[in-house]
Amino acid sequence: MVKLQLRLPENIHQTAKQLARKQEVSLNQLLVTSISNELVRQETLAFFAPVVEQFDEGAFRTALARVPDVVPAEEDRRQ
C-alpha cells in the first residue's frame, strides 16, 4: 500500500466527505474507488479505440437494413 498526499480544493473535499458519509464509507475508500473506476474507464476507452477507428457507418446501415421488419416473438417482448 502506498501513502499519497493529495491537495484538494476545499469545496471538492467537503463534497467528497459528504458523499462518503452518505455512502457509509471512509473518505479514503471513496477516493480509492473513484480513482479505480476512472482507471478502468480509461483502459476501456483505450481497448475499444481501434474498433471505433475501423467503424464503417455505411456498412452498419447496410447490415441494419437487412434486418427483417417483423413483430418480435412474445418471449422477446417480455420485460
C-alpha to C-alpha distance for 66 and 63, rounded to whole angstroms:
5
Residue 42 C-beta-side C-alpha neighbours within 13 Å: 6
pLDDT of residue 50: 94
Domain count, the chain: 1
Q: Is the pTM of this model over 0.85?
A: no
Q: Which three cell numbers stand for residue 5?
A: 498526499
* 8 part of a folded domain: no
* 75 part of a folded domain: no
Q: In terms of residue numbers, what domain contains 52?
A: 19-66
* 46 part of a folded domain: yes
* 37 part of a folded domain: yes
* 53 part of a folded domain: yes
pLDDT above 90 (res 79): no
* 38 part of a folded domain: yes
CB 30 within 8 A of CB 20: yes
pLDDT above 90 (res 43): yes
